[in-house]
Amino acid sequence: MLDTQSSHFSHLVDLTKGELNRSIFSDPAIYERELKQIFARCWLFLGHVTQLPNENDFFTAYMGEDPVIVTRHSDGKIGAFLNMCRHRGNRVCRADSGNQRTFTCPFHGWTFGNTGELKVVPGYKQVYHEELDMEAHGLIPVARIDDYKGMIFATFDKNAPSLDEYLGDMAWYLDMAVDRRDNGIEFLPGVHKWRIKCNWKFPVDNFIGDSYHGPVSHGSAWESGFEGMPRRKKGYGYEGFQVNAGNGHGFGARWAENEEQVYEMVLPEFLGYEKERFPETHARLGDLRGMHLSPMHCSIFPNFSMLWQSGNMRVWHPRGVSNTEGWSWCFVDKKASQEHRDLVRIHDLQRHGTSGTWEQDDVDNWVQSTMSSRGYVGRQVKQNLSMGVNHEIDDPKSIHPDFRGRIAGFQNEINQRNLYAQWGRMMDGESPVVPGANA
């Protein structure tokens, strides 16, 4: 085991060689430190505002291993609190979602308002002799909560930078999912939740930049009728970029030269909708974001991932060093017709999430990569992230003047390298926003 008290986590990631110490996937002491340095300090994705349409609506979520309740108060504001009674620590809410003004702990009946304040303690006079400080025993609130165009994030670190700073250039790229049309997106009701016996970083790594595994891992789905988007077209369709947006966030996108190529990359059943929405998206987002980039996969540090064209967002909750719980949602443009919503939902669930023909073939890869990190000998062998290490694109603005961040060819592990660089910085106690710190 490593000495987790000294400041040396960045050294487990060698950016010049593209090598990684495998113990970060198996060492319980490292995992414990991740809960503190990463999950208690980063902005974490909780859900979407459309999951809380009404006053007093709530859903439960997790921040790291800490359960939280996310509520919409009567004043319309959204808050989040530890789902933990201040008496014995029992969960005050056992539902996944609902509508409640108060939460009563099932253990002894302490009752909290959905703004967190402790309202009722049974026997306050008789057994507590009115000596319990009610004001000091409300539900523990998150330090900060905010949303980016409807996407709710929160952090337990009161010294964290703002959400805008934390997302940095990634927010601007996120518009390609959340701001393509007027009124943005909404989440469909229902969440896929499932456990995978892997370290949480493997799926994040996979989604942030692994465009390499597709043909091998997902070939069977692709050729059996579960084709994905953007479709590969020989000549130009295989082209595209990995874009590193900084602060450990990144995505991969295919490249369309013109509007015609946008339509060629779309599955036939989505063509009508693409033609309907293209002029609006192009007008809102411009050439680079509204036409050239057809984004596919992404991760936002530390544990949010997205499959843009499939309408799929998810988080990877850590559940011990070798266990992860995936939560996967389906999103659609608010302006989408019912017909298009049906197509997106079916496209998504037949490929991604619990029964997904793509998803299920990823799982054992992540499980086995985790298991191999547990053997003493295997753990001494470096994880290889070297793809294209000396082949990043020096001047992204020569490709297009609007590009932000760093870019490389579509098959390049630039995003994984920067994911682990951010991991090392956070583990060493640095701020999640480090200007110019990208590799």
Partner 1 sequence: MSLDMPMTEIETWYSVSQFYTREARHLDDLEFDKWIGCMEKDVRYWMPIVSNRIGRDIGTELTRLGELAHFEDDFESLSNRVKRLATGRAWAETPPGRTNHMVSNVELLGEKDGLTKARSQFLIYRSHLETDQEIFSGTRIDRLRPDPDTGWKIAERTIILDHAVLTQKSLGIFF
Binding residues vs partner 1 (CB under 8 A):
94-100, 188-197, 216-217, 219-221, 223-226, 325, 329-330, 338, 341-342, 345-346, 348-350, 353-357, 359-361, 363-365, 367
Residue 268 contacts residue 262 (beta carbons within 8 Å): no
CB atoms within 10 A of CB 372: 16
Least Å from the CB of residue 329 to partner 1: 7
What would the two tokens of residue 315 be? 């988080």
Residue 249 contacts residue 165 (beta carbons within 8 Å): no
Least Å from the CB of residue 177 to partner 1: 17
The nearer residue to partner 1, 97 or 431, going by C-beta atoms, is 97
The residue whose two tokens read 């990634």 is 170
Least Å from the CB of residue 54 to partner 1: 13
- The C-alpha atoms of residue 69 and residue 71 are separated, in whole angstroms, by 6
Prior bond of 161 cis (ω within 30°): no
The nearer residue to partner 1, 123 or 219, going by C-beta atoms, is 219
Residue 47 contacts residue 61 (beta carbons within 8 Å): yes
Name the nearest CA neighbour of 174 among 149, 198, 195, 193.
Answer: 149
Least Å from the CB of residue 361 to partner 1: 4
CB atoms within 10 A of CB 237: 17
Least Å from the CB of residue 298 to partner 1: 20
The nearer residue to partner 1, 298 or 343, going by C-beta atoms, is 343
Give catalytic residue positions: 108, 210, 213, 218, 362
- The C-alpha atoms of residue 373 and residue 232 are separated, in whole angstroms, by 34
Least Å from the CB of residue 127 to partner 1: 27
- The C-alpha atoms of residue 102 and residue 413 are separated, in whole angstroms, by 48
Residue 201 neighbours by CB under 8 Å, 6+ apart: 24, 25, 419, 420, 423
CB atoms within 10 A of CB 216: 10
Residue type, 297: H
The nearer residue to partner 1, 87 or 341, going by C-beta atoms, is 341
The nearer residue to partner 1, 150 or 356, going by C-beta atoms, is 356
The nearer residue to partner 1, 191 or 385, going by C-beta atoms, is 191
